[in-house]
């Protein structure tokens, strides 16, 4: 539950009650009520993406706790948001069009006043370069306040979770980012067909990480995800690829394998991180239509874990 807190110091969470206090100093009561209602509506909706992707959930809570009215990470190359949560999430894209051209390697941080709902707010943008790709990290706040420490912390957070060595696609159930994934899957299917090899898709889904977030924070969750990826890589060796769909789901493509070998490799795998033994589920599916049946939209109804 979110409650407003008219204080100047950093927003805090009351662990005894589970209430997250949103820093709202300076907001008018009318706007404040709408902002609090928005965050509570998100938290009460089990169909929201924050319930299915633990990294989205962590970032969403950080948005509230830092008192941001919006927090986003934008992939310039794909023209897609990797994350965009907050009261002004719908207004971010048109705002970005006005300011993207002003950010470059020599000018990586910009802050601009913006008028939204006939009130003055502030948008801060940062250019992040990773593997020759450009990303824009941004926040919207009510007024010019010193958020440098909070912003630096969040940049590190996104760098850990959203710039991993694995291909990262979020929101699978909504098929966000699917064209990029399908392009890779098409190349895999074409290669398997040329070599007359069987092609299987495997979905590994680990248990919800919310309980670990509450107990140990996002550092342990980062360790869980990193170790899970490494364990899958060790199992795969040279026979497949792994794509991180979100913090819990990993899509694996394997060629030249039969059902028995897949069960042997993954059916008895143990994902042990520190002293934790993660519970996981597995489904697999063989691609038989190499022309049209390789896409994730086609395969998903058969492979998804209910």
Lowest mean pLDDT among 36-45, 187-196, 207-216: 207-216
Give me the mean pLDDT over the 208-234 stretch: 73
CATH, range 2-162: 3.30.450
Pairing, β 19-23 against β 2-5: parallel
226 and 211 Cβ atoms separated by less than 8 Å: no
pLDDT of residue 6: 39
Fold of 167-303: Alpha-Beta Plaits (3.30.70)
Residue limits of CATH 3.30.70.270 in the chain = 167-303
Q: Which part of the chain is CATH 3.30.450? A: 2-162
Q: How confident is the model at residue 163 (pLDDT cuts 50, 70, 90)?
A: low
Instruction: Report the pLDDT value the prediction gives residue 169, as an integer from 0 to 100.
Output: 37
- pLDDT tens for residues 46-89? 888 787 777 778 788 888 777 788 999 998 888 888 889 889 99
pLDDT tens-place string over residues 281-306: 889 999 999 988 998 888 888 888 87
- Average of per-residue pLDDT across 268-283: 80
């Amino acid at each position: 539950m979110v409650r407003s807190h008219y204080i100047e110091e950093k927003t805090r969470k009351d662990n005894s009650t589970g209430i997250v206090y949103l820093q709202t100093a300076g907001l008018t009561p009318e706007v404040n009520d709408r902002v609090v209602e928005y965050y509570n509506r998100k938290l009460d909706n089990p169909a929201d993406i924050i319930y299915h992707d633990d990294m989205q959930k962590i970032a969403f809570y950080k948005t509230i706790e830092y008192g941001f009215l919006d927090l986003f990470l934008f992939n310039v190359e794909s023209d897609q948001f990797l994350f965009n949560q907050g009261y002004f999430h719908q207004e971010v894209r048109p705002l970005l069009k006005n300011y993207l051209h002003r950010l470059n390697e020599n000018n990586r941080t910009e802050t601009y006043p913006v008028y939204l709902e006939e009130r003055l707010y502030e948008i801060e943008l940062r250019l992040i370069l990773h593997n020759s790709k450009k990303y824009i990290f941004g926040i919207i706040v009510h007024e010019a306040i010193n958020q440098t420490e909070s912003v630096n912390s969040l940049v590190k957070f996104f760098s850990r979770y959203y710039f991993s060595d694995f291909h990262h696609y979020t929101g699978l159930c909504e098929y966000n980012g699917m064209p990029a994934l399908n392009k890779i899957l098409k190349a895999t299917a074409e290669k398997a067909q040329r070599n007359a090899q069987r092609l299987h898709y495997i979905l590994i889904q680990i248990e919800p990480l919310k309980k670990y977030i509450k107990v140990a924070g996002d550092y342990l969750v980062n360790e869980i995800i990193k170790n899970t990826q490494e364990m899958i890589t060790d199992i795969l060796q040279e026979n497949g690829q792994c794509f991180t769909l979100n913090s819990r789901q990993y899509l694996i493509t394997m060629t030249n394998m039969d059902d028995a070998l897949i069960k042997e490799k993954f059916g008895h795998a143990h994902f042990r991180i520190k002293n934790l033994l993660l519970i996981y589920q597995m489904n697999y599916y063989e691609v038989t239509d190499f022309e049209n049946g390789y896409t994730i939209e086609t395969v998903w109804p058969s492979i998804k874990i209910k």
